[in-house]
Structure formats: structure tokens, C-alpha cells
Chains A and B, each alone.
Chain A
């Protein structure tokens, strides 16, 4: 046992060389994949179709049984654990939403708590709590049937249902794929806010690189043949794509996309602290994104930005320096 890799202390999900080989298929759907996902981390699996990202996700709750390798959740080897109790401890959200049409919203949300033996009145209260959490009015929605809700509302209920038993881990398979683009963006932003407060360990699958960049703490880009091409933060992936496949996959516009991931403080760090002060600067918080800072500068016609520091010392950065720094990924990140 001791020579096999074990999950580190802060790992929530640990895949140790998992492979999936479907009978009758020449190539493995996933081969020898190892990944460590930390507690409270939001990891997005992204890649072209057929790259094994969904198979990987479904191996975590063993809806797909791995042919080889081991799966750890919260430090425990669950490769051969009882699947039903394993899955009750993992939230699961799918693209098709999958609300049971013959059950009310409250009963749908309470499915897992019911299996876990929660009392009826507690289940009801929990359902109301969760509806509130995902932004639906409990008074209006508890007694309704899924058909009476819009697609966006249904997927909120889908998220509430996955959260019902307060699982530490959530798996999401293209959760925002079935709703129209405007609702999708709204749901994504809401979900990010929600995640900031609940801090679950989330693994999400998408084929949309923009969604991945917007949501993920880290992104795993799968290449053809289920190769894990790069597994890193969005900023690192945009700044230093590992290979041509990743570069192609993130597409053009990477430098512009980076602007909304870079913080003003990141850029400031690459400049000496005694940059000349500017007469006409607009004040910006160090935690703002460079994208937002540029927006403010361009809108106000200022020469650059002024960032308030501790003890009343301000630092200045003119527009040109801001852009230059933002355009030089390696320099900023090193």
C-alpha cells in the first residue's frame, strides 16, 4: 500500500490512475487519469466531445465504474464502497435537470433527505430553506409541479435538490446547457455567488471554454484521446497554454479574456512602487479586475489609475503601463 500514491490532507477528490475501457471499444474512454481536487475548489472539466470529461465526472460517483484505478473522496477509498450511500453524499446536477414530473418541487428537493430518513416536517423546512437559497420564493413554489416552472427555475430547483443533504461534493454535468444564453449567464453568476457562501467542492463538465474560464478555480482541459492537456487556473491557462491543442481550444482573444481575470494588484506587483504620480488619475480598488480598471479609465478619459494603499500612500499606473503589463503574461505571473 505504501508505494501507491495517497491523497494529500486537503484533497477532497483524488483520482489515482483511473481508466475506463468499454467492452468492444478499441480505445479507452479514459486512461490512466490522476487528478487531485482540493476541498472547496471549483474545478471545471472542459474539452471537445468524446474526450472523456463526462466519463471522468461519472466515475467520481461511480455511475460509470472505473475499469482500473482508485477513487478517494475525503481521504477514503470509495472505489468499492456501497454506491447508493456514496451517491447520497454527493450532489448531482445534470443538463436535463431530471426533476420528477409527478412530484412537487418540495418533494423533488427532499428526495435525498427522505432516503436518509429525515422527518417529514424537517424535509419541508429544508426544501423551503433551499428554495430561498437558490432565489425562488418558497411560498409560491413548494407545492408546484416541475412543468409549471421555466427552464431556468427548474435548474435552480435541480441545484437545490443536489444541495438538499448538504453534501460536501457536487458533480455537475453541463448544468447550464439547457437554458438560453441570457438565463445561462444569470444562473452562472448566481451560482458563483452561492458557491462563495457554501464553499462546496464542485466538479463541473462543460464544452464551453468561456463558461469554464468564468466559473472555475481551476480548469482541466481534456484533449483528444482523453489526455489531460492542462490542469491549472484560468489565468495560467490563458497566459501560458501548455501546448498547441490548448492554445487552439481557448481560441483567439485570450489576451483580452485575461483582462477580466487579472487583478489590478497583480499588475502593480510587476512595477516598482515609485511610479510617477499622475495629475488626472481615476481611483481604483486593488482588487478590481484590469478589465474593469480599463473600462473606468476609458470612460472617464483619465491618464491612468490611482490605487489607494495602506497609510495614505497611493500608487499610480498610466494607461500604457497598464496595457503593457496586462499583455505580458509571463512577466506578471512570474
Chain B
């Protein structure tokens, strides 16, 4: 027996050694942009567009858009996914998944514009569009995560006297967590990108920096807007990776 004692569960996420790479890339990117902007002799339009207050406000709006839409996506996608994997609703699950797949195929700018035309513009309208867009990965991964749970485990749970709710909470959900987290991570990254389009419906965000760079024909403004969006996406991905590592149940 003593020989077996040396076996160890491989640490979840064997990429531990590389966690510092992403933040390093972000820092280099931000440093490069900073150096670039400060090496310029800016005209008044550039100076106004790149004022710290303007850029930080846009960044903050962007973060708000992403956080609000992702939270809403989880709040809708996870319960819906759970509901659609219950024995009674399994059939409906296929239909909803197909619809969600189709909605993903629609270009995001189209969704935004149509929604803006129907419901008007503003922050919450943009959030609704982002939720519609990011729902698929969360919903699909919740369903896939639950369905891939070994039926023998559910049989064992039922056989020892767990109610369907206890089976869901002690067996199905914990074992679906890694797949669900992967879906949420995809939704987050999608939202960071798609939220730049929210500028077109007057919801602010880093998209407004980018679009003013384009419309004013000022390359430095455009570059700052894009670089910040990239840095934000990478940071969010890094944080989501850390969260995945912490939240993933041990032993699987």
C-alpha cells in the first residue's frame, strides 16, 4: 500500500507555470502605447480625444457593458441550460440549441442595429444585444457539461436515495463546472469584442474611441482605442483563466 501513497492527482491546470505570460503581454502592450502616445506631438483634436478623462470613461463604460452583459448571460444561460437537460424538456433542448446556434450566425452589428431600431439606443439596449449574442456559448456549454456526466454516477446517486435536485446539486452541476466555465469564458471574450460596436448605438465604451479615430482620421486615437480593447480582452481572459482554476472541483 505504501507504494500507492506516492501517487498524486495532477494539479488541475498544468499550465501553472505560464500564468504570468498574459499579464506580461498586456503590460508590454500598454507600455508600448504609452510610449507611442507620449512620443507624438499631438494636435488639439488628438489631445482632446485622448485626454485621460475621455479614455478612462470609455474604458469604464466598456467594462460596465461587459460585466453587466456577462452577468445577465450567466443568469439566463445557466438556469435555462439546466432546465433544458431535465428529462421532461430534453426534446425542447434540441430546438432551443438550434435557435441559439442560428442567432450566433447573425452578424453582431446587425443584431445591435435592429435592436436599436426597434427598442431605441443606450446602455441597456447594448447590454440586451450582447446578452443575445453571448448566450449561446453559456447555454450550450451548460447543457453539454451536464449531459456529459457519466450516467452511472447519476444511477449511483439515485440508487443511494438522492432526490433529482440532490443529484443535480451534488453530481451534475459540480461535474459540469469545467465545461460551463469554458463557455462563460468564451462569452466574456466575445463580449469585450462585440461591446466595441455598442458605440454605434450610443452606449459608449472603447468603440467610441475607435470610431472617433476613424471619423476624425486620427491614427493615434484609433490605435489607442484598439490597443486598449485588446489589452482588456487579454486581461479578462487571464482573469477568467484564474477563476477557472480556482472554481474547478478538485479530483477531476
Q: What residues of chain A have their CB less than 8 Å away from a CB belonging to chain B?
A: 61, 63, 83-89, 92, 94, 96-104, 111-112, 115, 137, 140, 145-150, 153, 161-162, 171
Contact = CB atoms under 8 A, between A and B. Distances in A.
Contacts of B161: 83-89, 112, 115
Interface of B: 1, 4-5, 7-9, 150, 152-153, 155-163, 166, 170-171, 174-175, 249-252
Nearest to A146: B251
Among B152, B158, B251, max chain A CB count under 10 A is at B251
A98 B155 contact: yes
Contacts, number: 84
A229 to B, nearest CB: 27
Contacts of B162: 84, 111, 115
Given A104-B251, A140-B5, A147-B9, A112 B159 contact: no
B159 A145 contact: no
B181 to A, nearest CB: 14
A99 B160 CA distance: 12
A115 B166 contact: yes
Contacts of A140: 1, 4-5
Nearest to A86: B161
27 contacts: A63-B158, A84-B161, A84-B162, A84-B163, A87-B160, A87-B161, A88-B160, A96-B150, A98-B153, A98-B157, A100-B153, A100-B171, A100-B175, A101-B175, A101-B251, A102-B250, A111-B160, A111-B162, A111-B170, A112-B160, A115-B160, A140-B4, A140-B5, A147-B251, A148-B7, A148-B9, A171-B159
Nearest to B174: A102
Nearest to B252: A101
B176 to A, nearest CB: 11
Given A61-B159, A87-B158, A94-B152, A102 B1 contact: no
A92 B160 contact: yes
A11 B86 CA distance: 38
